[in-house]
Structure 1
C-alpha cells in the first residue's frame, strides 16, 4: 500500500516540477495573483462536478470540518502561493528555490510536535542526504553561492510561504481521515481561491486577459496537471504515509525542473546537476525504504 502512496507523491512532484515552465509562459500574459485564484476556482468547480456525477457522499463536508478546510485554503493557497510570489518582487527565484529546501525539515519538526510522527535514524539520514543534495544542486557546486546571497524581506515571505505549505500538509492529515480526498481538495481550493482573489484585488488588482494559444495550453496544464491531478495525488499519498514521509518528496521538484528545462528551454544538464540528482533521489529512497535497511542490519 505504501508503494502505491509513494507513486502518487512522485506523480504529484513530477507535475509540480514541470509546472514552472508553464507558469512562466502564462505569467508573460497574465498577473500571477490573478492566475492563482482563477486556477483554483476552476479546479474546485471541476471537482464539484466530478463529485456530483459520482454521487460523492462528502459533497457537503461536515460542519466541524469547515474551519480546517478554510485554513487549508488559507495556508496552502493564499499564503503559500500568494505570499511567495509577492516575495519575488523583492528577491530572486534562486533565493526562493533555496529557501524551499527547508520544507521537509520544517515538516519533520512540526509533525513530531503536533502529530507525534516519529522517524527512525535511517529515515533522518535519508532526509539529510536529500537535503544536502538539493543544496549542492542550488549552489552550483560552490559555497560562494550562499555567502554572496543577499537576504531581504522577500526571503522572509518565501520562508513564511514554506511554513504555510507545511501547515497545509499537517492540517490535511486529520481531515483526510474524515472526508474524501476529492472533497478536501475541492473545498480547500474554493476557500483558497476566494481568499487569494481578495488578496489580489486589494494588492495589485485582478487582471483577467485573453491568452494566446500557447498560454491557453499552459494554463490548462496548470489546472489539469499541476492543479487537479497533482493535488489529488499529493493528498492521496499524504493520507497514507503521513506528513514527514511525504514532505521528503518535495526535494524531487528541482530535479524534475532541471529535466523539464533541458527539454523545453534547452538548458544544459551538467555533471554537478547529475550528482545532485543522484543524492536527492538516494535520500528519498533511503527515507521511504528504511525498513529494508533496518532488516539487513538485524
Structure 2
C-alpha cells in the first residue's frame, strides 16, 4: 500500500497545482514556473547540497538522462500547464491530463517492455473513461463540443513531457540521491527559465509580486507540487512502474473538482460521483499485481528500498 498512498498525495498536491495555477493566472506562465522553482530550490538547498556535491561524479556521468528528466518533468511540464491555463479552463486541462496515463502506458510498453495483463488494460480504459466522465458530467458524446483553443494545444506539450519524464524516472532516477537530484534539476531549470522570464517581462512588463495571496500561492507551488510531490512520485515509480504510477493521475479531475467544491463553492453532480467511482474501479484493476512471481519481485524491491 505504501506506493499507492504516496500517489494519492501526489494527486492531491497536483490538483492544488491546477487550482492555484488558475487562481493566479494574472501572472505570466514562465513567471509562475520560475518563482515556484526558486522557492523549491531555496527549500531543497540546505537538505540536498551536501549530497549533490558528494554525488557530482554520478551527475556528470549520467548528464544526458539527467538533462532530459530536468527539461521534461521540472522545467517545462508545469510551464505548459500554466501556459494552458492562460487560455483554457481548468476542466479542459483536467480532460487533457487524463491522457497522460494512457500515453505513459503506451510508451512504457514500447520502450521499457512493461507488460500488463488484460484486466489491467481494462482498468486503464475504465479509469480514462471515468476521468472524462467526471469532467463531462457523463456527457461523453459532447466531448467534441468543448470550446477547444490554443491552451488545449499547449497541453499536448504537458502530456508528452510528463510521459517522457516518467519513462526516464523508472530507468535512471534510482541512480541519484533523491533530494540531491531534485536540487540539481531545480537549479538547472531556474537557469534555463531565467532568460525566458526576462524576455517575458520585456514584452509584458514586470508583474506585481508583492501581494500576500501571490506569495503564499507561490510558496505552495514551490513546496508541495515542486518538491514533496516529485519525491513521492519518483519513489512510487521506482516501487511500481511508470505505467501503474501514472494511472493514479486519472484521479486528478476527481480531486480537482472536489477541491473546487470545498474551496470555491462549486457543485458536485451525481454524474461526477459516478465518474469518480469508475475511476476508482479502473485504478484498482490496473494496480492488481500480475501473478505470484511479480508479487515476490515487488517484495524484494521494497526490502531493498
**Shorter-chain TM-score tier:** 0.7 to 0.9
Distance 1:52 1:150, change over 3 A: closer
What pairs with 1:236-247 in structure 2 (closer than 5 Å)?
A: 236-247=235-246
Give the Cα–Cα distance (whole angstroms) in 1 for the partners of residues 267 and 103 of structure 2: 32
List runs of 5+ in structure 2 lacking aligned partners: 294-305
- Residue 109 (1) aligns with residue 101 (2): no
Partner Cα distance (2:66, 2:2) in 1: 25
State the shift of 1:285 in Å: 1.4
Residue pair 2:30, 2:197 contacting (<8 A) in 1 also: yes
**1:23 paired to 2:21:** yes
The answer to whether the 8 Å contact 1:123/1:290 transfers is: no
What is the aligned length? Answer: 292
Task: Note if contact 1:245-1:287 (Cα within 8 Å) is conserved in structure 2.
Answer: yes
Q: Confirm or deny that 1:80 pairs with 2:77.
A: yes
Comparing 227-236 with 181-190, greater Cα deviation is found at 181-190
Kindly indicate whether residue 162 of structure 2 is the aligned counterpart of residue 145 of structure 1.
no
Deviation at residue 287 of structure 1 after TM alignment: 1.1
The gaps in structure 1 that reach 5 residues or longer are none
Pairwise CA RMSD: 2.7
State how far apart, in whole Å, the 2-side matches of 1:87 and 1:263 are.
24
* CA drift at 1:59: 6.2
Q: TM-score of the superposition, structure 1-length normalised?
A: 0.87
- Pairs within 5 Å for 1:167-182: 167-182=164-179
In structure 2, do the counterparts of structure 1 residues 62 and 222 end up closer, same or farther at CA, with 3 Å as the change threshold?
closer
Higher helix share: 2
Please list, as runs of the form range in 1=range in 2, the aligned pairs for 1:58-207 lying within 5 A after superposition.
58=55, 61-203=58-200, 205=202, 207=206
Deviation, structure 1 residue 84: 3.8
Q: Residue 220 of structure 1: CA displacement?
A: 1.9
Q: Which residue of 1 aligns with 2:3?
A: 5
- CA deviations over 1:60-113 (Å, ceiling 9, x no partner): 643122222222121123332223433445544443322211111110111111
Within 1, Cα distance between the matches of 2:227 and 2:132? 30
Query: Residues 82 and 196 of structure 1 are in contact (CA less than 8 Å); yes or no, is this contact kept in structure 2?
Result: no
Assess if the C-alpha contact under 8 Å between 2:21 and 2:85 holds in 1: no
Q: Partners in 2 of 1:157 and 1:140 — Cα distance?
A: 24
Relative to the length of structure 2, the TM-score reads: 0.85
Answer whether contact 1:25 1:215 (CA < 8 A) is retained.
no
Partner of residue 253, structure 2: 254
Q: Identify the range of structure 1 (197-206 vs 139-148) with the bigger mean alpha-carbon deviation.
A: 197-206
Range 107-116 or range 53-62, more displaced: 53-62
Instruction: Please list the CA deviations of residues 127-170 of structure 1 after superposition, one character each: whole Å capped at 9, or x if unmatched.
Output: 11101101111222224531313445443321122111111111
Deviates more, 1:51-60 or 1:99-108: 51-60
Distance 1:22 1:49, change over 3 A: same
Change over 3 Å in CA distance of 1:55–1:182 after alignment to 2: closer
Residue 40 of structure 2 corresponds to: 43
Q: Does 1:226 align with 2:204?
A: no
Alpha-carbon spacing, 1:4–1:64, altered in 2? closer, same or farther (3 Å): same
Q: Distance in 1 between matches of 2:74 and 2:126?
A: 29
Specify the alignment match of 1:264 in structure 2.
263
Partner of 1:275: 274
The residue correspondences of 1:203-222 to structure 2 (distance < 5 A) are: 203=200, 205=202, 207=206, 209-222=208-221
Q: Is the 8 A contact 2:51 2:177 kept in 1?
A: no
